[in-house]
Structure 1
């Protein structure tokens, strides 16, 4: 698993036919029955919160890009949008899967000859520069007598997970399957059992979809596994091999392609192939992996890490991958135009690490899952089994507790489509189904009141999921106010169902002051001019007055050593004809409920008086914005204007 994965995506210049809804300044209709149809691009779509004269200057807040395809000799199967959507539907409905990292590194548990690896456990051979001749001796110790495929799948099922993905071969080159291509596999250990075969059978028996992780570009056991120069050199085994003598074409031809054919041929239907860290491969090599995969498993779903984020500019042209994988353990909150999957760990490592007891609790698990679902994503949560074949007890317990909540309340998660709102709410996350919106309330409001800002459709009734008792509410223009006094809270999150009779949900996407007279400007609702470092919002004020300004941003980078880049930048806020200098300080902090390892930092940025009702533009100037955890710039979350 890559902990230094720079994910690059950009909405501008893409016209992907599976965008779920258009963003514009007008009152908009959101069709919850079919959210996958292409939307007509409006003139002002790239900057819905700026005036028409400014729109060409701004770009999406995604600060990187998809590469479009280049001409190739490798032909790939043609697929229409309808075929793509049909193939992807089970995955989008599933929302939640189990990742398993298991191999020889599990025996070491993060320690070799008394030295504790400073990085993730499955990279220990590379990190501690262990010679291959020494590392391969672990084969003689690999005998997980407690391994029970049915038990592993039972844990996933009890957790509420709908699919499982296991490392068939990780970067060390050791295979958990019966490979005729390389003797470096599980059949040549004392265990002598095909792990992949047994897990596939157990998943089939219990109704869990089955996928395989395969490290296709990195292989520390192969003398020809060349990746590239610069930072890519760190991914190779340069302890045993000379990069100048490596021939990647030979590695691909003799090991990677043939093993891919093995795992996609010998185990029946494989539902997902999870490639990882394909950066360094060229376009032709990436396409060859896609070609082999689709020829052998036409309905399989392919992860984005097959290459350096190579992607088509249209759905029906040489699709390289089917879902996007952001950086590990990181969720930006953006509603992406294609389905995404956040891959996360139950502690700080992927492979088993015996000194790591920082386990993700059920509340964090459910936050990450439902936050992803609310923005068109899935959640793939990893467990690193011990060398014995047993899963650590603590994550199993936490997974099952979260699973109990999902068993009772899963209607608000599974088979849902993303939030119709382009902004976030402090109390939790929104999902939807036809004629229903689910408010998954994690943070109970202090005044027992929840406000939905922007709903135009007439509401029929509101109730807690599983309880027919109606919740009192009031509709006033674009404001829907729920009275939760007397409503019983559920553990972790309380799903509240808002039902409406309209065939289509009507939403006003203009940013507006709320009923409490505060204003929240999320990064995901802004427009960003990267070259000039300007973020811009337009919003309506109905009750003027004085406001405190608070800027909220996230730590980012390596989760074992997160950094906050706020203090490194200075700039200004410009609104209502005033310029307010901004130098961010760490005034408040809290653990981000979705990101687990990273703190959310609040910075007081002064005050502003808005003298009359009307529409205002606020600009944050001088701050580079980098939403992803490895990108340069401030991890901006939102700007709050709090009425004094």
Structure 2
């Protein structure tokens, strides 16, 4: 009997092991064809762009990502909306447009209003310096005149080389251009299969050589390797060739896993997240203007205030913002998206010198906002908003060098004071409230980049055991208000995705979220955030509860977006409440946190 039990356990263990060995992701991973495809750390270092080659990229701060394709005729999800095999992905498809339908949509794709010159003028009007365009996504459709496939733009009713026209227009307009190229291809029969090295790799290499030798000056490449290894694309030798074809080219990090050194590519690419606060190297946050990368006609459109807030936070913490807009089937950017992007451009015309051509500031981002610097000039960007009873004074740690002068770039700055190891910035409250970003220029006796960066905020929220939370309703069990606080790490951070949120029921006419403290709290800051894909709140207010049980509105706002900080006056309160009055799509609140 015992022997039988041991056999059962053994077979069960082998079964589990076999399942792990044959996981969906593992089937796409295999050794290199030969040893030359594996590299040493020294060889990897050969591929890094120099500081001089990276300079324009670090100066740019804002780029436009463009995801496009025939898929928009049936879905708002590029590639991932296809129900078929997904070589290189971690998970199989479980739904979507049938492959036989998806793969034939190109025969009806006719963006007859496409005008590359107009696109580039819009990009410039939006204040961006570069464009990243999807030359080929995972679904295999190519936007260039490739002679080794029929699955491309030349065989659509449109029948013109989009990449060629975009490259020519970008070069003429002085806009830098990157090609997005997905190494995995879900429609090529040999991709990551038995004849991968013999058939698919030459197919891919021909594409890359064409894109980076036949379209003039190309400034960068945005790879997207999914769950594959670098040697499967012979990334070392390919990138070496590309650096010869396009001297000075920069590459993102998605060149395949498994490199000897941690830093892949020239910069990191956090997706749908603001990225790291104090990262060890440069990075680029790629985010969508709507809820999807592809054209999403019914998706929530981020207001310009939200986009600007993210741009300022990203720039202040050592990165670029790559903002995605998905053109429609006619070949035009969506009018409302373009309108919001144009407002971003108008702000940049006035205040862009405090963002562009700067580097991350000595003050690390915190509840006050962010900072940027160039030479002896430090720009303090105050994104924090004020509750009705809060003073218009921003407190920061004292700088390690003398302040020679201080000037308000935006209206409302009154004076500064250094006192008890603190730098105090004083503002006129009425003027302060009218500015999205209150900017102060500090001229310093020494270049602040020679000093260590300064932490400004120890972001530790009130402990979960010290409050209870309730809501007017919730859509599903996974959207209860408790999930905001139960999920490990699900507090505001610019290094993680916030994947849990409170979502009220659709029929809820008075959606509200309430936090009751077990003992009175002297709060300094409230922090609110929406799901990155659903920035839809357009009118709300925040209330606080006093000892007598009375609720009082202390802040009224229009936009929550990503990481709204509201400064309170520090009085003891017994609860906080978020009341949402207007919204354009499903409400998804990822953070409503209190800080003492």
Counterpart Cα distance in 2 of 1:562 and 1:122 = 28
TM alignment of 1:219-298, pairs within 5 A: 219-226=185-192, 246-283=194-231, 285-298=234-247
1:568: how far off?
5.5
Counterpart Cα distance in 1 of 2:452 and 2:228 = 44
Counterpart Cα distance in 1 of 2:429 and 2:594 = 32
Q: Which residue in the other structure is 1:19 paired with?
A: none
Counterpart Cα distance in 2 of 1:80 and 1:136 = 36
Q: 1:567 aligns with which of 470, 482, 486?
A: 486
Change (3 A) 1:77 1:483: closer
Q: Which residue in the other structure is 1:344 paired with?
A: 287
Counterpart Cα distance in 2 of 1:395 and 1:551 = 42
Contact 1:98 1:165 in 2 (8 A): yes
Counterpart Cα distance in 1 of 2:200 and 2:226 = 12
Q: Which residue in the other structure is 1:409 paired with?
A: 351
1:182: how far off?
1.4
Contact 2:530 2:591 in 1 (8 A): no
Counterpart Cα distance in 1 of 2:479 and 2:321 = 22
Change (3 A) 1:352 1:145: same
Change (3 A) 1:306 1:352: same
Q: Which residue in the other structure is 1:144 paired with?
A: 111
Q: Which residue in the other structure is 1:447 paired with?
A: 391
Change (3 A) 1:320 1:503: closer
Q: Provide the aligned length of Structure 1 versus Structure 2.
A: 452
Aligned: 1:208 with 2:150 = no
Change (3 A) 1:354 1:280: same
For the residue of structure 1 that corresponds to 2:150, the secondary structure is coil
Counterpart Cα distance in 1 of 2:211 and 2:349 = 33
1:223: how far off?
0.8
Deviations 1:142-189 (A, max 9, x none): 111111111111111111100001000111111001111212111111
Unpaired stretches in structure 2, ≥5 consecutive residues? 1-24, 26-35, 84-92, 467-477, 490-512, 517-525, 537-541, 543-589
Q: If the length of structure 1 is used for normalisation, what is the TM-score?
A: 0.63
Q: Which residue in the other structure is 1:102 paired with?
A: 68
Of structures 1 and 2, the one with the larger relative CO (CA 8 A, separation 6+) is: 1
1:413: how far off?
0.6
1:476: how far off?
1.8
Q: 2:250 aligns with which of 292, 297, 301?
A: 301
Q: Which residue in the other structure is 2:560 paired with?
A: none
1:286: how far off?
2.9
1:278: how far off?
4.1
CA RMSD of aligned residues (A): 3.7
1:215: how far off?
0.8
Q: Which residue in the other structure is 1:125 paired with?
A: 82
For the residue of structure 1 that corresponds to 2:400, the secondary structure is coil
For the residue of structure 1 that corresponds to 2:370, the secondary structure is strand
Q: Which residue in the other structure is 1:53 paired with?
A: none
For the residue of structure 2 that corresponds to 1:369, the secondary structure is helix
Contact 2:363 2:454 in 1 (8 A): no
Q: If the length of structure 2 is used for normalisation, what is the TM-score?
A: 0.68
Counterpart Cα distance in 1 of 2:42 and 2:401 = 47
Aligned: 1:465 with 2:409 = yes
Counterpart Cα distance in 1 of 2:170 and 2:164 = 10
Q: 1:434 aligns with which of 364, 375, 394?
A: 375
Q: Which residue in the other structure is 1:528 paired with?
A: none
Change (3 A) 1:129 1:594: closer
Higher share of residues assigned helix: 2
Contact 2:134 2:180 in 1 (8 A): yes
Deviations 1:295-343 (A, max 9, x none): 3223111111111273636xxxxx85111112x2112442211110000
For the residue of structure 2 that corresponds to 1:499, the secondary structure is strand
Q: Which residue in the other structure is 1:368 paired with?
A: 310
Unpaired stretches in structure 1, ≥5 consecutive residues? 1-5, 7-68, 111-119, 227-244, 314-318, 513-519, 524-546, 553-560, 571-584, 603-634
Q: Which residue in the other structure is 1:587 paired with?
A: 515
Change (3 A) 1:225 1:394: same
1:506: how far off?
7.6
Contact 2:144 2:163 in 1 (8 A): yes
Q: Which residue in the other structure is 1:385 paired with?
A: 327
